[in-house]
Every structure is written in C-alpha cells, then in structure tokens.
C-alpha cells in the first residue's frame, strides 16, 4: 500500500525539460512578470524579454486563466520554471498548420492585406499568402492586357472579405504559408474527375486571358461545346508556357476570349486542371537543321538582366515555323549597358550558334565580329 502511494506521488510530479509545452494556471500578475501554477511544487514565471515579446497577448490574460507555455529553463537560480508564451504559441500554431495540411482541411480566412502578387491573411497568428494565380477562376481579376495597377486595385476589393482556402504548402523555418482558394465550382469538378484524366484531349473556349496564361472552359472528353450547357462546362488554366512552342510574352497575342480551341489535360491537382495547347502542335525545334558553329541571322527581340533574346530569321528555320529564339548571354559584353551599345531592339545581326539543344528548346549565340 505504501509503495502504491509512493508510485502515485512520483507519477503526479511532472519532470519538466527545456522545450516542453505545458499548461499553467495564472497565479499572479505583476508589473513585469506573470506567475503560473504548473502542478505539484512547480511555479513558472514569464518575465524579462519573454514578457516583452508577449506583451500584446499578456494584456488580455487574467488570474485563473489557463495558458499554454513553453519551458525555457526547468529551474532557474530562484527556483522558478522560466517560460515563454510567445514560443509556445508559435509551436502550437505550426502544429495546427501541419494538421490542417495533412488532413487537407478547408478553412476560412479573412483577407487583411494585399500586394502585387496576391492576398495576405493569417492562420493561428502566422501570415499566410494567397497568390493571385491560386485564386479561383471566378475570383481572378481578368484585367485586359494584364495591367498590374488595375489588378492591384481589383485585389484591394477583397480586403476584409472571408475566403474558403486550403493550405497548398508551408515552410516553418521561413515562416511562410501558401494558400489556394477553394472554388465554388469544386463540387462540379469533383464529380467530373471520374470522367477526365491527364492526357485527355478536350474541346473548349478561352474564357479569360491573364498575364500568366489563359483560362479555358471545356467539355468532357468526347463532348462538344454545342452539346453542353454553359454552367456544366469545366474550367482550367493554360499556363503561358503551354500556349505555344515559341516564347510567349503576352498571352493576348496568342489567344482571344471566346476563341474555340482544343487542348490536352497535363495536370490535375486539388481539383485544378492545367491544360496545354502547344502539346497538340508539332514541336518545331525537333526539325531544325542547325548545329553548333552555324552562322544565322537574327533580330534582337528583347533584353533582360542576363542577356538578349534573338529571334532567328525564317530563312534559317523554315517559313512555316513559329518564332524560334536563342539567347546571347550578357557575359559576351561585360555589362548590360555595353550590351545595349552593341545591340539594338529590332535590328538584324549575324550570330554564331554556340550550343543547340532541341530537346531543351535551347540555343545560345555569339555575336559575329563583336
């Protein structure tokens, strides 16, 4: 009997270690410290830097409240357990975030801020980012020509609104959460998933053109647009890189809203369908009769920070080929200013091919007589 009593006493005494998350009852609140009851013979304290770090939260705490805290020091020189409320909140927040992601839970967040890339909310006190590209098709600001200022103004109208989202990805070390919006059309898409798969070719029409691609409303495989009511069509995205084999800078130059097209399904992720138009076109790179060392004529198409894109003249690639571009690296010139002294947008020059890799759709060039 005496042994059983001793064992119960041992079991009731919690051995605390640095890093443990425990619950404590608030015993006293002083000017720069809070004392907590942690169980038999254990009194915790939040003070110093830890008190200052959690000041905004602590002002709402009163005597008798139960709070979760993290053990910083199991016993300091005064016999107290040093605690952190802020660290416990962070750890519990990330635990919640991991569970939501693992269980693929839907949650509702309130949009608090926007930037040019998307919307910002919070989950358990952690900032969460909803990129514009992860907005549902019905919410995406379909601004003509992808005007960034107009897109930002459209995004600002979402401040204060609540949205149903899922966690797409997170990085605890960087303190980042990436969200994706749950579409109202998801129920329709969930039902349709049993009828569509990657590789299917579908008939559709362009429903919106944005700076990173085009939205397409499409019928299930084997169906035509004329035979399907508008509200039963599915909607997916054709990324700018999937519009054509040539380098596309403005999707509006390749497709128009209302245009009928055929496309291939290339990915289905979380009820979002990605499609490709270029997969149904012949890859022009595979038929090019070019090799390293050849001399070609090309027109300077555009500059960027790492070089200049050169559009190869059709006399070297065939008149029926789409635009094929190579790159002359900025290292050929030493600096961007010197590159712009040697090359002029829209002007033709002779170039030598340094590397030609049709499988990678890659051609690097050297300016002749440079």
Q: Which of 329, 330, 300, 331 is nearest to 313 (CA)?
A: 300
Distance separating the N- and C-terminal Cα atoms of the chain: 97
Q: For position 288, what pLDDT does the model report? A: 83
Residue 82 to residue 72: CA distance in whole angstroms? 5
pLDDT in tens, 158-192: 999 999 999 989 888 888 899 988 765 555 666 67
pLDDT band for 76, please (50, 70, 90 cuts).
confident
Give the number of other CB atoms < 10 A from CB of residue 348: 13
Give yes or no for residue 218 having a pLDDT over 60.
yes
Do 141 and 150 meet the contact criterion of CB atoms below 8 Å apart?
A: yes
Give yes or no for residue 9 having a pLDDT over 60.
no
pLDDT in tens, 291-335: 999 999 999 988 988 899 998 886 656 555 567 889 999 999 989
Q: For position 7, what pLDDT does the model report? A: 45
Segment 94-113 shows an average pLDDT of: 89
Q: For position 318, what pLDDT does the model report? A: 57
pLDDT in tens, 85-102: 777 677 778 888 888 888
Give yes or no for residue 128 having a pLDDT over 50.
yes
Computed over every residue of the chain, the mean pLDDT equals 84
Give the global pTM: 0.59
Q: Which two tokens stand for residue 153?
A: 């103004």
């Amino acid at each position: 009997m005496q042994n059983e009593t001793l064992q119960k006493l041992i079991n009731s005494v919690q051995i605390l270690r640095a890093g443990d998350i425990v619950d404590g009852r608030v015993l006293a609140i002083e000017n720069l410290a809070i004392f907590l009851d942690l169980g038999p013979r254990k009194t915790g304290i939040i003070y110093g830097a830890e008190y200052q770090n959690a000041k905004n939260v602590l002002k709402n705490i009163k005597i008798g409240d139960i709070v979760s805290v993290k053990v910083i020091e199991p016993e300091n020189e005064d016999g107290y357990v040093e605690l952190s409320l802020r660290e416990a909140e962070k750890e519990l927040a990330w635990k919640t975030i991991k569970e939501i992601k693992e269980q693929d839970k839907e949650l509702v967040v309130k949009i608090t801020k926007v930037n040019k890339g998307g919307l910002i909310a919070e989950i358990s006190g952690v900032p969460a980012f909803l990129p514009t590209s992860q907005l549902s098709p019905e919410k995406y600001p379909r601004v003509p020509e992808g005007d960034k200022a107009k897109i930002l103004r459209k995004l600002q109208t979402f401040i204060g609104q609540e949205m149903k989202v899922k966690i797409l990805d997170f990085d605890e070390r960087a303190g980042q959460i990436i969200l994706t919006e749950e579409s109202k059309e998801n129920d329709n898409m969930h039902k349709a998933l049993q009828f569509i798969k990657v590789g299917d070719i579908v008939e559709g029409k362009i429903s919106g053109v944005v700076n990173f691609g085009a939205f397409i409303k499409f019928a299930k495989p084997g169906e035509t647009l004329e035979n399907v009511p508008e509200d039963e069509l599915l909607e997916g995205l054709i990324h700018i890189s999937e519009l054509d084999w040539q380098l596309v800078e403005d999707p509006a130059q390749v497709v128009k809203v209302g245009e009928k097209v055929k496309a291939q399904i290339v990915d289905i992720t979380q009820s979002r369908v990605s499609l490709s138009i270029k997969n149904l076109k012949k890859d022009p790179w595979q038929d090019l009769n070019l090799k390293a060392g050849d001399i070609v004529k090309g027109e300077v198409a555009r500059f960027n920070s790492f070089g200049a894109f050169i559009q190869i003249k059709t006399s070297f690639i065939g008149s029926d080929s789409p635009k094929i571009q190579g790159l002359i690296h900025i290292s050929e010139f030493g600096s961007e200013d010197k590159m712009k002294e040697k090359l002029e947008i829209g002007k033709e020059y002779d170039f030598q091919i340094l590397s030609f890799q049709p499988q990678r759709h890659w051609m690097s060039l050297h300016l002749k007589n440079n």
